[in-house]
Amino acid sequence: MKHSGVKLFLLFFVVSICLISMPNLAGAQQKAISLNFSNFFPAPHKNSVLADAWCKEVEKRAQGKVKITYFPGGTLTPAAQTYDNVVKGIADIGESCFAYTRGKFPMMEVIDLPLGYKSGAQATSLINAFYAKFQPKELADVKVLFLHAHGPGILHSKTPIAKMEELKGKKIRATGLAAKIVQALGAAPVGTTMPETYDALRTGVAEGAMAPIEALQGWKWGEVVSSTTQNFGSAYTTGMFIVMNKAKWNSLPPDVQKIMEDVSKEWIVKQGQVWDEIDKEGYEFTKKRGNKIIALSKEEDAKWAKAVKPILDDYIKTAKGKGIPGDEAVKFCTDYLKK
């Protein structure tokens, strides 16, 4: 009887431990936080591959606490609606361009101006430094993870253009702010989308186009142009964001928040490097086809920069009318790029 009592006690003890442990085990299994990430870049694009790698790195460091489902190619939210859909919670995390909803981000528009960019790393470094400095209220309804911007938007043409006068009257593909740049340089903007531009160049509807040089390979423009002009003095970029729903961010444990912020800081550098890698591939692609690369003289480049300066002045004036410190914004950016 004595042994039976001991056995019963041990059995009761083991069962009790199991019952106590079961809720904890269930709780542990339920702790994985499910998030989604919407991106407009198509899956094969290097920017999409890098975004997917960000998701995987966060998951790895969170050690099972987070699971991020990645949606490339606008399959979760269309590019122009991504920001608003993040605010609404349709997407937990979203990546797109500020310019797709022009007027919604008046402070961030300064980044897209023809400030004279030299590289994607430089543009990406600037946009993050700018955000850290000014903390624009227009982004207060989301958690900004990190920002980036492509390499210099420059001229690609069917005939070589080494002087600004040679641009006069030419039909150059450009949309949005780039259309203003084309006009300031004396050419006539042609408003085609990126997918339409190849045929526009091939058929002569457009005689040139403005874009980062990666478009020569990524969009195959190198097959239908013969020359690229390195007008860096008037080069523009396009600012892009990776943002998170504010309520979802606030619901995350502090350790997960720190992981996301740490990974995002590292990805700023990686993102700038990827833009420059893509541009390098664009150069290699066009050179193999025998296309020319024209480097403007210092004096000529300064002439192009002077021609687009009124666009900066116009931004400052418009921003002032909206109660935005456009003069401070432009000065910060130009000083940063000089460094």
Cα–Cα distance measured from residue 50 to residue 301, given in angstroms and rounded to the nearest whole number: 34
Helix axes 120-134, 254-288, angle to 10 degrees: 150
First-to-last C-alpha distance (Å) of the chain: 88
For the cut 90, the answer to whether the pLDDT of residue 17 exceeds it is: no
Cα–Cα distance measured from residue 43 to residue 41, given in angstroms and rounded to the nearest whole number: 6
* 289 closest CA partner among 219, 208, 238, 226: 226
Measured CA angle at 243 (ends 242, 247), to 5 deg: 160
Q: What is the mean pLDDT of residues 259-287?
A: 97
Cα–Cα distance measured from residue 118 to residue 126, given in angstroms and rounded to the nearest whole number: 12
33-39/66-71 β-pairing? parallel
Q: What is the mean pLDDT of residues 12-20?
A: 46
pLDDT the model gives residue 272: 98
Please, which pLDDT band fits residue 30 given cuts at 50, 70 and 90? Answer: low
Tokens of 14: 């083991």
Q: What is the mean pLDDT of residues 178-183?
A: 94
For the cut 80, the answer to whether the pLDDT of residue 15 exceeds it is: no
- Name residue 84's amino acid: D
Cα–Cα distance measured from residue 258 to residue 267, given in angstroms and rounded to the nearest whole number: 14
Please, which pLDDT band fits residue 100 given cuts at 50, 70 and 90? Answer: confident
* 301 closest CA partner among 154, 88, 121: 154
Q: What is the mean pLDDT of residues 281-308?
A: 97
Q: What is the mean pLDDT of residues 18-42?
A: 68
For the cut 50, the answer to whether the pLDDT of residue 9 exceeds it is: no
Q: Do domains 33-102+120-149+239-279 and 154-236+282-338 have the same CATH topology?
A: yes
Cα–Cα distance measured from residue 119 to residue 219, given in angstroms and rounded to the nearest whole number: 19
For the cut 50, the answer to whether the pLDDT of residue 98 exceeds it is: yes
DSSP 32: P
**Where are the chain's structural domains?**
33-102+120-149+239-279, 154-236+282-338
Q: What is the mean pLDDT of residues 140-150?
A: 98
Cα–Cα distance measured from residue 252 to residue 223, given in angstroms and rounded to the nearest whole number: 48
DSSP 153: B
pLDDT the model gives residue 59: 98
pLDDT the model gives residue 5: 52
pLDDT in tens, 192-251: 878 899 999 999 999 999 999 999 998 899 999 999 999 999 999 999 999 999 999 999
pLDDT in tens, 65-92: 999 999 999 999 999 999 999 999 999 9
Cα–Cα distance measured from residue 215 to residue 279, given in angstroms and rounded to the nearest whole number: 8
For domain 33-102+120-149+239-279, the CATH superfamily is: Bacterial extracellular solute-binding protein, family 7 (3.40.190.170)
For the cut 60, the answer to whether the pLDDT of residue 19 exceeds it is: no
pLDDT the model gives residue 176: 79
pLDDT the model gives residue 154: 98
For the cut 80, the answer to whether the pLDDT of residue 178 exceeds it is: yes
Q: CB neighbours (10 Å) of residue 88?
A: 11
pLDDT the model gives residue 192: 86
pLDDT the model gives residue 2: 46
Contact (CB, 8 A) for 298 and 233? no
As assigned by CATH, the class of the 154-236+282-338 domain is alpha beta
